[in-house]
Amino acid sequence: MEKHSMKFIKPVATLALGATVLTAAVLGTPANVAEAASYKVSKGYLISKTTGKKISGYKTYNGKVYKDGKLLNGLKSGVYYKQGKKASGTYKGKYYSKGKKYTGLKSGNYYKDGVKASGTYKSKYYSKGKLYSGLKSGVYYKNGVKGTGSYKSKYYSKGNLLTGIRTSTGSLYIKGELNKDLYLFEKELYNGSKLNKGLALYAGKLYNGSKLNKGIVEFNEKWYNGSTLANGSIKTPDGKTINVKDGIQILNAVEKATNAVEKAETSKTIAEVTAAQNLLTALEDGEVKTALQTRLNAIELAEKVATVEELTTALANDQVKSITLTADITTTTPVAPKAGVTIDGAGNKLAINTLSPEGNNTADGLYIQQDNVTLKNITVTGTHTDNLIEIYGDNATLENVTVSGGKKAGVYVNNDGVKTLTVNFNGVHTTDNGWNAGIGLAAQKADSKVIANFSGNNTFGEDVAVYSEKGTKYAGTYEVKGLENFVQTEIASQDKWIYETKALVSNADELSKALANEKVKTIKLTANITSTTPVAPKAGVTIDGAGNELAVHTVSPEGNNTADGVFIQEKDVTLKNITITGTHNDSLVEIYGDNATLENVTVTGSKKAGIYVNHNGVGDINVNFKNVHTDANNWAGIGLIAQKEEATIIANFYGENKLDEEVALYTDDKMLYLGDYKVNGLKGYEVKRVGQQYHWKKTK
C-alpha cells in the first residue's frame, strides 16, 4: 500500500504547481498589477488614472515604451523603437535590427554599426555597402572578390597585377602588361610575350632560343663560347681555327684591310670606303695592296642625305654615283653633280637660294655640266635670278621632276660646243617660271645641235612649254621629239611649243589663224592688236587679253546687219583681262550666244552700245558680267534685247562693275521686242521707265 500511495504524490504536486502558475498569469505580477491600477491608454496616450494627465518621460506599459505619453518612435539608450516596440529598419541614416545597430548583410548591402560600410566581410570586399568592382589599394576586385581578368588595359590574377604566364594564352605579362622586351622569367628568355627564338643577348649573356647558348657561335660580329665572349683559340662552325680576344677575331693588317674593302663593297657608303682606305694606306706596297685598291676604287657609292652638309660631301666625292634625299634640303650654293651621278629626291624638295651678282654668267641653280646625269622624283625651286636647272652635259635625264618658281626658264639646255647634246624628259612638270616658259633650248654654234626627247606625261603651267633660240644670235639646230598635244609655232623669231588648245597671238594675222583653228580653246594676247575684220570666237573659246587692247576697226556699209566688232555668236565664250575699242559704226561687243562671260573687260568708244546682247531665238540665255567697265559709248554701256515673246535674257553681275555712261544699261518694254529680262546683282544703279525702254542709271 505504501508504494502504491507514493505513485500519486508527484502528479498531485505538479497539479498544485500548475495552479500556482495559472493564478499568477491571470492575476499578474505585483508590478503589473500596480501599473494596471495606475495607468491607462486613452486616445493613444498613456495617462495617469489618478490625475488623468499624460505620463512624462519614458514609461514601459504592457510591454511597450512610451515617451511623454506617446508610443516611442526613435532611440532610447541606443535602442531603436517604432510604435513603442524594438524595431528593424532605417532611422536617421542608420539601419537597426530588432532595435540594435545592425552589422552584417541586409538586402545585399553590408552594414557595420548600422551604416553602409567599406571593408571585408565574410571574405568579400564592400565599398559603401556594395560589393566592389575596381581597384582598391592596388588590388583588383570583381563583385567583391579578388578578380582575374583585364581592367583598364592591365591584366590581374586573383586581384594582383600579373607577372608571369597567362594560362589561357601562354603569354608573359610583367606587372599586368604584355612583355615587350627581352625578359628572363623562371630561367627562360622571353622576347616580348613569347619565348625567344634565335640568338639574343640579355644581361651580358648570349641565349639561343630561351636557353643559354651552348657551343661556338658568332653574333653581332663577335664570337661567343657558350653564353660568354670567347677568348683564345677557337674552332668556328665551318672548321676554321681563329684567335679571338673578347669575342673579336685578331687579324693581321692585310686581313683587316680585306674585310674593310668587302664591307665597303656591300654598304657602298662614304664612311665604309673611308675606313677601308685608311687601312689600305697603311699597307706596304705590293700586289695585294694594288688589288685591294682597285676593288675599292671600283665601288660606286650610294649616299642618303638629309642635310646640305651631307649633300655637299656626297657631291664632292668622285665615287658617289647615287644620292638620295631623305628630307627637304635648302642650299645657298649651286648644286653641280659629277658625271654619271643620279640624284633621287624620293619625293623631297631641293631649294637652291644662291646669292650671285646681277649678270653673273655662271649657273646659280642646279648646274648639270657633266654627261649622263639623272634627276628624278624631285621638286627643284630657288630664289636666285637664274634658270633653276641649266644643262650643258650630254645625255641628261629628268624623270618625274617638278621645276617651279624660276626667275628665268625652269630648265635651260645650253649647248655651247660643237656637238649634239641630247636631253631626256619623262614626266616633267614646270610651273610659275619666268620668261613664261618651262624649258629653253640653246644651240650656240653653227655645228651644234640640241635634241630634246619627251616621254610620259609632261605638263607645263606656263604659256610656252618649250622654246628654242632658233632665229636669234645662236646658229645651231634643234630637234624636239615626243611632245604630244603641243604645236610648234614661230613667235617673235623663236620656235615655241605650246598646247595645241592654246594660242599666243601678237598681231591680227595670228589672231585670225587662232580663231579659225578648231582645236584652240584659249587665245592669249601678247601685245596690243588692231584688226580690220570682226573677231568671232568659236564655242567654248576664251580670249585672254593679258592686259592688252583689242581694237576692231572694221569698215562695213552703213546699215549692215552683221556685227562689226567682237561678235559672240556661239555659246560658252569668255572674254577677260582685255580692253575693247573700235572705230566702226556698230556696238563694240555683240552677244548672241548663251553663257557668255566678260571678266575684267573694258569697253570704250562705241558708236552705239558698248555691249549689245541680242537674243533673236527662244528660251533663256545667260550673260555674266564681272568687273566690267564701260565708258564713252554712245547709246549706253550695255543694251539687252530679247526679240521674241518666248525669249528671256538673264544678265548676272558680279564683283565691281563700273558703267560710266548716262544710261548704264537699257532694255525694251515689250512695245517693239516682246521678250523678258532679268537683271541680277547690279549694285549702285536704279531702274526707271523712259519712253518705250527701261533705263538703269547710277544711284544718286
Q: 19-28, 194-203, 657-666 — which is least confidently predicted?
A: 19-28
Percentage of the chain beyond pLDDT 90 is: 64
Between 75-84, 107-116, 251-260, 506-515, the lowest mean confidence (pLDDT) is in 251-260
Tell me: the pLDDT tens digits for 367-423?
Answer: 999 999 999 999 999 988 889 999 999 999 999 999 999 899 999 999 998 899 999
> pTM score > 0.85 for this model?
no
Please give the mean pLDDT across all residues of the chain: 89
Secondary structure element (H or E) that encloses residue 402, with its range: strand 396-404
Q: What's the Cα-to-Cα distance from 78 to each of 10, 70, 94, 325, 698, rounded to whole Å?
A: 48, 18, 12, 86, 98
Q: What percent of the chain has pLDDT over 70?
A: 93
Nearest to 629 by CA among 693, 686, 578: 578
Of 36-40, 52-56, 432-436, the range with the lowest mean pLDDT is 36-40
Q: Which of 183-187, 287-291, 575-579 has the largest mean confidence?
A: 575-579
Q: What is the pLDDT of residue 584?
A: 86
The HSE-up count of residue 319 (CA atoms within 13 Å, CB side) is: 18
* pLDDT of the residue at 12: 38
The one-letter amino acid code at 586 reads: D
How confident is the model at residue 270, as a pLDDT? 82
The reported pLDDT for the residue numbered 271 is: 85
Condensed to tens digits (0 to 9), the pLDDT of residues 48-102 reads: 988 889 999 999 999 999 998 899 999 999 999 999 899 988 899 899 999 899 9
Residue 502's pLDDT is 86
Q: Is the pLDDT of residue 212 over 50?
A: yes
DSSP state of 436: G
Q: What is the pLDDT of residue 35?
A: 65
pLDDT at 30 exceeding the cut of 70:
no
Q: Is the pLDDT of residue 362 over 90?
A: no
pLDDT per residue over 309-345, tens digit each?
999 999 999 889 999 999 999 999 999 999 999 999 9
- What residues are paired with 199 via a beta bridge? 208
Q: What is the pLDDT of residues 335-356, one digit of tens each?
A: 999 999 999 999 999 999 987 6
Closest CA to 673 of 645, 651, 637: 645
Per-residue confidence (pLDDT) for residue 579, from 0 to 100? 98
- Is the pLDDT confidence value at 597 over 70? yes
Which three cell numbers mark 482?
A: 615626243
What is the spatial distance between Cα 230 and Cα 244, in angstroms, rounded to a whole number?
A: 7
* C-alpha torsion sign, points 534, 538, 540, 542: negative
Q: What pLDDT is stored for residue 4 in this prediction?
A: 40
Whether 6 has a pLDDT exceeding 70, the answer reads no
Tell me, what's the pLDDT at 486? 84
User: Can you give the pLDDT at residue 67?
Assistant: 92
Number of Cα atoms under 13 Å in the Cβ half of residue 251: 12
Query: Where does the pLDDT of residue 18 fall: very low under 50, low under 70, confident under 90, or very high at 90 and above?
Result: very low
- What's the pLDDT at 33? 55
User: Looking at 246-260, 395-409, 685-699, which range is the least confident one?
Assistant: 246-260
Confidence grade of residue 14 (pLDDT, cut at 50, 70, 90): very low
Residue of 614 and 519 predicted with greater confidence:
614
Question: Looking at the domain that runs over 300-499, which CATH code has it been given?
Answer: 2.160.20
Whether residue 7 is predicted with pLDDT greater than 50 in this model: the reply is no
Beta strands in 458-595 (DSSP E): 459-460, 464-468, 477-481, 486-491, 494-499, 502-505, 522-525, 529-531, 542-544, 549-552, 566-568, 574-582, 589-591
- CA dist 131 and 105 (Å) reads 11
Helix 270-281 / helix 253-267 crossing angle, nearest 10 deg: 160
Residues 370, 591: Cα–Cα separation, whole Å: 58
